[in-house]
Amino acid sequence: MRFLYACFVIVLCALIFCEYVADFVVLQKCKWPEIKRKKYVDDPLRAMILADPHLLGPHRGHWLDKLYREWHMTRAFQAASRLFQPDVVFVLGDLFDEGDMVSDKQFQEYVWRYLKMFHLPPGIPLISLAGNHDVGFHYKMHPFFMSRFESYLNNSSVNLYTIKQIHFVVINSMAMEGDGCMFCTQAEDQLKNISRTLHCMKYPLEAECARTRRHPYSQPILLQHFPTYRISDTMCEDHDAPYIEAFRERFHVLSKDATDMLGELLKPRLAFAGHSHHFCHSVNRLGIDEYTVASFSWRNKVNPSFMLATITPDDYVVSKCKMLPQQFVYNSYLSAGILCLIVIGFQLRKCIQRRRQSSAVDHRKVN
């Protein structure tokens, strides 16, 4: 029975390591990037940015697939939040895989699961953006979906967040169609209001700004679900897509017109997006650094990652943090299984040798 005990210990160790320890081991290789310039370095903002968790709903995917991959997303996020202790966490859309397909009761359950998985200590905001799987592509957007997402996750078409004097403009990419629809018109009006707010931060002594109390000005950072316009990942300085796909405006990326409008109104210094499920670092159409963040879910990417950004009002540094690869877990369990077979084989060999020796002794006694 010793070999059964040995196998049990091997499997138990593999289980504990893969399900509870491995995320910490892998993520410890990541560090907050450091800004070398002296100004503002004493208190920079540290932002953790991830995208496309795609929590499964009631219609797609096997329940075991949902259980196991969401368990690992939970473990990965909790390990990351404990190790890095960010000031803010952004999730760049597609929180749900079936957000535009479920009833209101099912959406409530969706939101409960999401907030449980991505739970943070008090004082650390979790800012969740809308993606096409949350409220639908532009052609499918409906006031019901939009108001529901805003009600439960406190995020509308366009928002301005200021944290540690860093300004973030959060945008609903599906409302950037520019066709005069209700959502697009509302989003453009909100963008113009934010543009005026930023202008008054920069020029507080102008007559129209004098009566309004403002934060100190710094160029904003743009966050949305769709990347700004690019033809494909061939424009990336660094990417991890397994193959190159030509991008369609308004489907894979924003249109040229929407991209130019954001540049004109906001004059951002840095941009983050998701949607493609693969990492990309590019200098975009606006001439600024843009990071497309890979999917946080094994279901979309076997080697997921997220971004760590250290930001001050006049500088930033961004690094990619690789998460626990799916294949590593599979290989660990496979190795544990092979080791068990070796132990069983070794034990069986010993048993056979003992029986042979016993048979030989019995044979000599008979003779």
Write out pLDDT tens, residues 241-288: 999 999 999 999 999 999 999 999 999 999 999 999 999 999 999 999
pTM of the model: 0.91
**Domain count of the chain?**
2
Q: Rounded CA gap, 202 and 219, in Å?
A: 9
pLDDT-based confidence at residue 119 (cuts at 50, 70, 90): very high
143-175, pLDDT tens digit by residue?
Answer: 999 999 999 998 878 999 999 999 999 999 999
Same domain for 311 and 184: yes
Q: Are strands 221-224 and 166-171 parallel, antiparallel or unpaired?
A: parallel
Model confidence at 309: pLDDT above 90: yes
Q: For residue 29, count CB atoms less than 10 angstroms from its CB and return exposed for 0-12, middle for 13-18, buried for 19 or more.
A: exposed
Same domain for 341 and 272: no
Same domain for 159 and 216: yes
Same domain for 338 and 240: no
Angle at 336 between CA 334 and CA 64, to 5 degrees: 55
3-state secondary structure the chain: CHHHHHHHHHHHHHHHHHHHHHHHHHHCCCCCCCCCCCCCCCCCEEEEEEECCCECCCCCCCHHHHHHHHHHHHHHHHHHHHHHCCCEEEECCCCECCCCCCCHHHHHHHHHHHHHHCCCCCCCCEEECCCHHHHCCHHHCCHHHHHHHHHHHCCCCEEEEEECCEEEEEECHHHCCCCCCHHHHHHHHHHHHHHHHHHHHHCCCCCCCCCCCCCCCCCCEEEECCCCCCCCHHHCCEECCCCCCCCCECCCECCHHHHHHHHHHHCCCEEEECCCCCCEEEECCCCCEEEECCECCCCCCCCCEEEEEEEECCEEEEEEEECCCHHHHHHHHHHHHHHHHHHHHHHHHHHHHHHHHHHHHHHHHHC
Domain containing residue 283: 32-324
Same domain for 215 and 349: no
pLDDT-based confidence at residue 50 (cuts at 50, 70, 90): very high
Same domain for 42 and 24: no
Same domain for 143 and 13: no
- Specify whether the CB–CB gap between 50 and 30 falls below 8 A: no
φ and ψ of 266, to 5 deg: -105, -30
Is 366 a domain residue?
no
Same domain for 104 and 17: no
Same domain for 47 and 23: no
Is 197 a domain residue?
yes
Same domain for 95 and 41: yes
Average pLDDT of span 313-329: 93
Same domain for 219 and 345: no
